Structure 1
Amino acid sequence: MTLQSKLDAFKADFEAGKPPYNVPYSVVETMHRATTELIASGAAQRALKAGDELPTFRLSDPDGNTVSSADLLSSGPLVISFYRGVWCPYCNMELQALQEALPTFQELGASLLAISPQNPVNSRKSVRRNKLTFPILSDPRNDVAAAFGLRFEMPDYLIELYKSLKNDLPAFNGNPSWTLPMPARYVVGQGGAILYAEVNPDYTRRPEPEDMLPALRLAATRAAA
């Protein structure tokens, strides 16, 4: 079963209001409105693409250790996933799929990491809930996401919906701003060039892990040349 088919199955149950979700359709309509507006804004088209250079970054893992993109690239290509947080079921399913694909990435000499705005406590929850063995990094205020062109401000009506659902992003993230990254996946070659980019303003759509394999094989070939 592909990652997207799992996401589609979850979405169908959630939007139908099936237990344990039991959400009214007005909630679904509001989420649809926000996604439609984000798509129409063209924000995804302005994000970094294949051929662009990686913005270097240094972020902390849940234990307070600094992880540097430059250090990771010194040993091979890098796979980066931007996700919204442990509260997002679509993100959790994506992280699980990436964990399953990790041995294949490693065979091609690549490292994998995921970045979200959530604080270290919630990053640890991501690791435990999804049984992850790759780094989860905290991006306060979505600053690194902004450097990639992924950060967006949530509209007021969506903030009110999140509050009504007890989904308190400032508490999750340890920051008062109501911003999120668009879910995105990148493959970066050792020289810092982005070889693969997939950005989707519809958070229910995620690329398959195997979609990145051609770029990773290209990176491995270049490294061996």
Structure 2
Amino acid sequence: MIKPTTQVPELKLPLINDTQWSLYDQTSKSFTMLVFYRGLHCPVCKSYLEALTKRLKDFSDRGVHLIAISSDSEERAKKAGKEWKIAELPVGYNLPIETAREWGLFISKKTSEKEPDAFSEPGLFLIRPDNTLYASAVQTMPFARPNWDDILNAIDYVNKNDYPARGGE
């Protein structure tokens, strides 16, 4: 488990727009937000990421860089990029299962033909510009994820009040 205020591991992934993304190359003013999702097979992920895409400007206005990440293959991730309403959202793919475990994500095995053999369950991480963890929320299933308005309000409060990271002990 990565604890708040500790350095997070470097993360480098290909994006569905045929570019490369690196966590340590981000130069956000407040946070980089990593949104780990289950993959193409997940209708809850589709709705969640489509709602996030509608709020991209709100996050950008707060100095937040973000990325959605899955263990999906290039083919599956690009299919989600085309079929879901997430055209403006940076989407990374090919997250190795071992890397997902390093981030403290729960791993599930396929229970239907629509699912890949293994995939990570959802997680949301707010990373400070110095690449330390500020906050995280990790789920064992696709339901009960943090609400985007709640995350935006929290970012506003944290930035206005210089609220410290909690839970590091």
2:39·2:119 contact (CA, 8 Å) conserved in 1?
no
Match of 1:185 among 124, 144, 147: 124
From the two aligned structures, give the one with the greater helix fraction: 1
Distance (Å, rounded) in 2 between the aligned partners of 1:144 and 1:221: 33
What secondary structure is seen at the aligned counterpart in 1 of 2:34? strand
Task: Report whether the alignment pairs 1:216 with 2:149.
Answer: no
RMSD: 2.2
Which residue number in structure 1 is paired with residue 76 of structure 2? 122
TM (norm. structure 1) is: 0.63
Distance (Å, rounded) in 2 between the aligned partners of 1:137 and 1:187: 16
2:69·2:93 contact (CA, 8 Å) conserved in 1?
yes
Distance (Å, rounded) in 2 between the aligned partners of 1:123 and 1:168: 13
Which residue number in structure 2 is paired with residue 96 of structure 1? 50
Deviation at 1:87, TM superposition (A): 1.2
Instruction: Decide whether aligned partners of structure 1 residues 87 and 216 sit closer, same or farther in structure 2, where only a CA change above 3 A counts.
Output: same
Match of 1:200 among 121, 125, 139: 139
Instruction: Decide whether aligned partners of structure 1 residues 195 and 219 sit closer, same or farther in structure 2, where only a CA change above 3 A counts.
Output: farther
Identity between Structure 1 and Structure 2 (%): 23
What secondary structure is seen at the aligned counterpart in 2 of 1:62? coil
Match of 2:114 among 161, 167, 182: 167
Deviation at 1:49, TM superposition (A): 4.7
Deviation at 1:51, TM superposition (A): 3.4
Distance (Å, rounded) in 2 between the aligned partners of 1:215 and 1:56: 25
1:50·1:195 contact (CA, 8 Å) conserved in 2?
yes
2:7·2:131 contact (CA, 8 Å) conserved in 1?
yes
Distance (Å, rounded) in 2 between the aligned partners of 1:49 and 1:125: 34
Aligned residue pair count: 159
Q: Trace 1:108-119 onto structure 2 (pairs within 5 A).
A: 108-119=62-73
User: CA-to-partner distance for each residue in 1:120-158, whole Å, 9 max, x for gaps?
Assistant: 22212222222221211013432431220114253xxxx
TM (norm. structure 2) is: 0.82
Which residue number in structure 1 is paired with residue 99 of structure 2? 144
Task: Report whether the alignment pairs 1:107 with 2:46.
Answer: no
Instruction: Decide whether aligned partners of structure 1 residues 108 and 205 sit closer, same or farther in structure 2, where only a CA change above 3 A counts.
Output: same
Which residue number in structure 1 is paired with residue 166 of structure 2? none
1:196·1:212 contact (CA, 8 Å) conserved in 2?
no
Deviation at 1:167, TM superposition (A): 1.8
2:97·2:107 contact (CA, 8 Å) conserved in 1?
no
From the two aligned structures, give the one with the greater strand fraction: 2
What secondary structure is seen at the aligned counterpart in 1 of 2:55? helix
Which of these two proteins has the greater Rg computed from alpha carbons?
Answer: 1
